[in-house]
Every structure is written in C-alpha cells, then in structure tokens.
Amino acid sequence: MSNQNKRNKKKWIKRLIKDYPVFYQKVWLACLDIPKGKVITYKELAKMINNPKAYRAVGNALNKNPLPEIIPCHRVIRSDGNIGGYSRGIKKKIRLLKMEGIKIKDGKVCKAKNSKDSKK
C-alpha cells in the first residue's frame, strides 16, 4: 500500500471512530502501524502512544475496537508471549496470526531465532 493510500485509510478510519474516547482513538490508530506478520505487546503499544504505564487500558481499548477487520488489534500480545484476548475470540485471533505467518505454540507466540529476545 502506498503512503498516500495509508494516509487516506487513516483519514477514513478517523472519521469512523471520531465519536469514541480520544485514548481509544490513539490506540486504534497506532495499531495501523503494526506491520502484517509482526506482533507487539500491549506495553509497547502503550509506549507508542506516549502513555507507557497504560498497557492495561490499551487492552481495554483494543477490546472495544469497533473495526477489528480493519484495525489489526489481533497483532497485540502480552509481554510474556501469551496471545492475550481478542473481542472475536481466542481461536479467531490465533487463526488470524497464523494466516500472517506468526508461529504459535501452547497459546504463546514463538520468537524467531534471530529476534532480540532470543539472544538474552
């Protein structure tokens, strides 16, 4: 998707979510920046919106996502690698993540061998 298309998509989504709390809007719009095939933690998303201690509130906002087919909240996981919750159900979240190439074992996202965390 070109940068122009991304900007147009964000504008369109902003119009659709304008009646929701500003905090929710920030969380949902930040989700649009998570690339397909990647995951981040609730804590990392909280940092992205400059509210690093609000990771639980981020989870609550994601649960209220009115456009889960468009705003990819399924790409946000817990810090321990557990996939966390999803408003459409855990099975659907796992299916979506697997469709994007994310490996999951026993309810946790498997780290790539070359990831930063595997070097610890």
Side chain identity at residue 94, one-letter code: I
Side chain identity at residue 44, one-letter code: E
pTM, entire model: 0.87
Residue 77 phi, psi (nearest 5): -130, 175
Q: How many CB atoms lie within 10 A of CB 69?
A: 9
- Where do the domains of the chain lie, and which CATH numbers do they carry? 3-119 (1.10.10.10)
* Sign of the alpha-carbon dihedral angle for 13, 35, 117, 80: positive
Q: What confidence score (pLDDT) does residue 1 get?
A: 67
d(CA 45, CA 47): 5
d(CA 110, CA 59): 21
Per-residue pLDDT reduced to its tens digit, 63-117: 999 999 999 999 999 999 999 999 999 999 999 999 999 999 999 999 754 444 4
Residues annotated as catalytic (active site), given as ranges: 73
Per-residue pLDDT reduced to its tens digit, 6-45: 788 899 999 999 999 999 999 999 999 999 999 999 999 9
**Confidence category of residue 119, pLDDT binned at 50, 70, 90:** very low
- Residue spans of beta strands (DSSP E) within 1-120: 40-41, 76-77, 104-105, 108-109
